[in-house]
A and B are shown apart, each in its own frame.
Chain A
Amino acid sequence: MKNMINSGKAYRLIVTSVTVIIAVQIIMLFILPGAERNDMVTAIIFSMFFTMGYYITGIRGKIILSFLLGFSILTPIILYGNEAAIEFLKSFFYWVSVSGEWIVEYVRWYEIIIMIFISFLCCIFALLLNRYRLAQWSIGGGLLLYLLFNLLKENEVQQSIVSFILFYLILCYVEYIQGRKSEEKADERDKIDGIDKVDEANEERKENVGKRSVVWLLPFLLLYLLVLLLLPANQERYEWKYVRKLYEQIKTIATAFTHKWGSMFNGQEEFRVHFSGFSDSAEVGGDIRVNSTDVMIISANYGLNTNLYLIGGIFDTFNGKEWERTDIRPQEDYYADFVELMYAIDRNNESGKKSSRTDYVRTANITIRYQDINTYHMFIPLKTFSLGIDKKKYSYRSEGGELLFAEVQGYHTEYLSNYMQMNIDHPDFYEMMIAESEYRYGQGEEEEQKILNNLNDMYRKESYIKVTEELLKQRAAEIQIIYGDTKEPDELIQKYLENITGGYENDIDKLKAIENELKQYEYTTNPGVIPRDREFMEYFLLESREGYCTYFATAFVLLARYEGIPARYVQGFCVPVESGSLSHIQVTSDMAHAWPEAYIEGVGWIPFEPTPAYDELRYTPWKTQKQLEEQNAKVHYELNEEMAKKEEIITKEAEIPTEAGSSNKKKSGLIWGIAGLFLLCVILTILTTHLFLKYRYRNLGNKEKLLDIIKINFILLSDLGYKMNMGQTLAEFYLNICDSEELSGLKLAFLTEFEEIRYGNKVIDNDIIKTAENEKKELFRILKGKYWWKYIIRLRMIY
């Protein structure tokens, strides 16, 4: 069993070396944070040699080790003389403890000493590893934890460290599995052998059986390690997309489930977000809690590049405490509103200001999918011009500006909205608004009529009403009545308002002034309750001057109405859109928001943002064509986004066949690569096993040698088609095969020899082995002639 112990040792050596390399790398990271790769490599090689020396030569190795250790420490002392030595040691101490103080000429020696120190540590470490299996396992666990920790922390870990750790873990695992299997086999073999064994030797053998198999695997493991080391690491951080997707999927399913059951128990109640934003009733006042549940998911199909304001509820009447809706006009108001805006822009362009329409508005297309929400409301952005919704599945109606489902909708409700994003903060847009707000419907001439007809042709679907000047005029009048109606403000407010809007002529300037004034206020989610005896407006505007969006929106709407401008209170969601994450935008309940919109006759509903915290969300202007032309062409590309995107799609389609071609090439390359690797593996196997077997064979005792040869002879015979059956004895087997022609030249003496050795107690001399070896050669010759491929497979056994 000598060979097994040897292979066990070889295995130990490798495991230990790997561990030591990992240890060195990690230690180096801590001790020499600035160490370069070369230093690392030196250290690794150094420590490997030390450990190998320790293992291969036993006590002698230890002596050499201590000699080297002493020598390396003493050399600098001898080199630099006595005083210098002390100085050197001092400086070394400083160098280790305080990183700043070091003398340049000594640095090389410091490093060497550190390496020796590391090697010394490694030796102790290796000793531990070798002695205790538990140590090996606990180190494996520790390394795994280290990797996981870094993974979770998203720290950067050197590729080589990762490779070595993985290699080590695989080694441990393979040993464990093989060990378990071979233990069983060893037990069986003991049964068959039946030779009296000393328990200790037996134990040792069992220990080593597993490791022997590992030695077989080593060339491949080393290959694996090499691949790990050489493969270019991805420079970007791994994003765990798959895991995230899985997580989201699970979450969706889980929420869908709870949602379903929840709605069963709670009945179909209207969704309520108490925070300022969306609820059925729009109460003003009171503290709010911010909580976050996933309400919807928005897929940006096309063109989305500004923050998204989703309109849910629209309210017209404030009763002093909460908002109510009295507007029940059945027309599709959103469409009329859209046409109104487009009409204004086109009119404006027609009247001489030749600028691109994209300076004012841009199309966007989004899909909205409900998640954990129960609501009658359909959420759409302002200036929506067409909706994509499965009308068989969902029936909805328009009431006032709102869109309402016939039934409460929740999970998986899905629809599509095409809308115009407004460049609302841009000076050009502002100018346009001011200019067009002077336009009065009904005075339209032929030219205007034409524009309106064009717009209708362009955007109107069959079910939509045809927008005409009369309709717009009527609508404006209705809005004036519904959204302009208010009580007279008391004197204090009157004064306050005059202060703000005093100097401005037109409505839009006035509204801007109000907005700017309100922005000076304090934003808080805990404004406290409005005292019972106080009016909301008076209390908020003049006294507390703090609140959240509901406060600001309400105040703005009422102030606008005092000025005689129709305004409405809108609830919904304000969804920030980051340019990076366009494909899926998660809308959560804490994005609920309330804001005011004012009606400018001739332009339509224009949103405002008096809430201080939301200023930046509403106003993100994009550049007009003129501005862009001044800049370089690259940005120009961005402007013509629509066109560009279309082009991109076209080019992508065109590229598909060429891509397939190149991928074919890549594929064939990959196949060749894999085939080559496979071949390499095969050659490696044959080579290493051959070498290993040869080495082992040389160190065997006579009996084992003969058994080895006989074993191979048996295998060769079975390859040739002469296989011993289970119930057959050796003599019977011999009788069976001695008649065959191809074996006629052979005496097959090994069979009878084997019989004696197996069942008797014959002494084996060299002659027996020689004859058996000769017969082995003969068998190989026969096999080579008969089945060359089997010969190749068995090539490793020629020695």
Chain B
Amino acid sequence: MVFQNKTDEIIKNIGKVIVGREKTIAYLMAAALAQGHVLIEDVPGTGKTKLARAFAASIDAEYSRIQFTPDLLPSDVTGLNIYNRKMDEFELRKGPVFTNILLADEINRATPRTQAGLLECMEERQVTIDGECYTLEFPFMVIATQNPLETSGTFPLPEAQLDRFMMKLSMGLPNREEELSIIERFMKDDPIKELRAVITKEELLLLRDALKDIYVHPVIEEYMVDIILGTRNQEKIVMGVSTRGTLALLRAVKAYAAIQGRAYVIPDDIKELAVPVLAHRLVLSYGYQKGKAAQELMMEIVGKISVPAEQFWGKV
């Protein structure tokens, strides 16, 4: 219950800034608790950065932001050793990656080299500068954004790197009412300035540890595996979800169940999270890679797999 209260508080807090995106916020929250990174993909101006900032502001944690450009170097992300003439030694100047929540804006604009530098940090949760390793503290979460429309001068993330994001979310455009309420909220000032942190790093750590107690019934495990296997051996899919994807899904659904205030995972969680967690991991065959094909395909696969419940029909 404590768990739900806390997460609800965060979600409500973020809701002050972002209108009508409760699901997305909840997914983001789940990713944060499950120690995953999130890629938000949407057209510009839908509030991707706003969401990341609001989320960072809700947690009493360090926050930094990198605007990715083609000339950005890996050392601009990780930091580098600088020779200090006074001390006559090399001194580490930490890059923006040494933080709790890192907003990587327009990640597909950087060169693959820089992208790779960041992605190593994401996966290993450590930074290597001049052969020396620096571990990143908990929480460490990358929220990357990218624009699916403008493709000229971009370096699309390779599949191997997409795989490192736990979820790929999209914001979507608000409807009429939402648009109106946004106008109202931003009438006077940016509400993000008024946001206060509602949870400390320590509390977040506790919540994370509490996830271990979330019960996953064996049939749920089987259901998950069935879905994963369903993405492999598919005509339209060149490469299905990897084992990393399986583990990501497991962690995500546990966190999501906790956010819903449950101590156990139900098939609904999996059905819901299958698209944000798994869809971006699919490598589609040539001819199918357009628009939201991956999401639709994922939904289709999930719809085909029978939900584990007692098969009561027609039998007494």
Contact = CB atoms under 8 A, between A and B. Distances in A.
Indicate the size class of the contact surface on chain A: 20 to 34
A797 B316 contact: yes
Contacts, number: 79
A727 B268 CA distance: 11
A759 B302 contact: no
A729 B271 contact: yes
A230 interface: no
Interface stretch (B89-97, B182-190, B212-220): B212-220
A727 B313 contact: no
Contact of B313 (A723, A730, A758): A723
A575 to B, nearest CB: 67
Interface stretch (B101-109, B240-248, B303-311): B303-311
A726 B307 CA distance: 6
B312 interface: yes
Interface in B281-316: 302-314, 316
Interface string A491-503: 0000000000000
26 contacts: A192-B219, A194-B218, A194-B222, A710-B310, A711-B316, A712-B316, A714-B313, A715-B313, A715-B316, A718-B314, A726-B307, A727-B302, A727-B304, A727-B305, A727-B306, A729-B271, A730-B267, A732-B268, A756-B264, A758-B310, A759-B217, A759-B266, A760-B215, A760-B217, A761-B264, A796-B316
Contacts of A332: none
Contacts of B219: 192-194, 758-759
B208 interface: no
Interface string A654-681: 0000000000000000000000000000
Nearest to B308: A192
Nearest to A195: B218
B302 A730 contact: no
Contacts of A756: 264
A243 interface: no
Interface in A742-798: 755-756, 758-761, 796-797
B268 A192 contact: no
B315 to A, nearest CB: 8
B309 A758 contact: yes
A227 B144 CA distance: 81
A732 to B, nearest CB: 7
B21 interface: no
A759 B267 contact: yes
Nearest to B265: A759
Contact of B220 (A191, A714, A728, A759): A759
B307 A727 contact: yes
A242 B310 CA distance: 52
Nearest to A731: B268
A711 B310 contact: yes
Contacts of A758: 217, 219, 309-310
A759 B303 CA distance: 20
A728 B307 contact: yes
A218 interface: no
Given A192-B219, A727-B303, A760-B217, A755 B266 contact: yes
A718 B314 CA distance: 9
B262 interface: yes
A449 B205 CA distance: 140
Nearest to B266: A759
Nearest to A185: B315
A731 to B, nearest CB: 5
A194 B313 contact: no
A194 B217 contact: yes
Nearest to A797: B316
Nearest to B271: A729
B19 interface: no
Contacts of A711: 310, 312, 316
Given A727-B302, A727-B307, A731-B268, A760 B263 contact: yes
The 6 A-B residue pairs with the shortest CB-CB distance, nearest first, are A194-B218, A760-B264, A714-B312, A729-B267, A726-B306, A759-B217
A685 to B, nearest CB: 11
Contacts of A582: none
Contacts of A147: none
A760 B219 CA distance: 11
Interface string B198-226: 00000000000000000101111010000
A712 B316 CA distance: 8
A729 B266 contact: yes
Contacts of A726: 306-307
Given A194-B218, A729-B267, A758-B217, 12 more contacts: A689-B316, A715-B312, A715-B314, A718-B314, A727-B305, A727-B307, A729-B268, A729-B307, A730-B307, A732-B268, A759-B217, A760-B264
A687 to B, nearest CB: 15
A724 interface: yes
Contacts of B262: 760
A229 interface: no
A707 interface: yes
A750 to B, nearest CB: 12
Nearest to A191: B222
Interface string A701-720: 00000010011101100100
Interface in A412-464: none
A194 B305 CA distance: 18
Which among B262, B303, B307 has the highest number of chain A CB atoms within 10 Å?
Answer: B307
A192 B304 CA distance: 18
B285 to A, nearest CB: 24
A797 B302 CA distance: 35
A715 B308 CA distance: 17
Contacts of A728: 307
A710 to B, nearest CB: 8
A26 B209 CA distance: 74
B218 A707 contact: no
A413 B220 CA distance: 80
A113 to B, nearest CB: 49
Interface string A727-742: 1111110000000000
A193 B310 CA distance: 9
B266 A731 contact: yes
A755 B265 CA distance: 10
A341 to B, nearest CB: 83
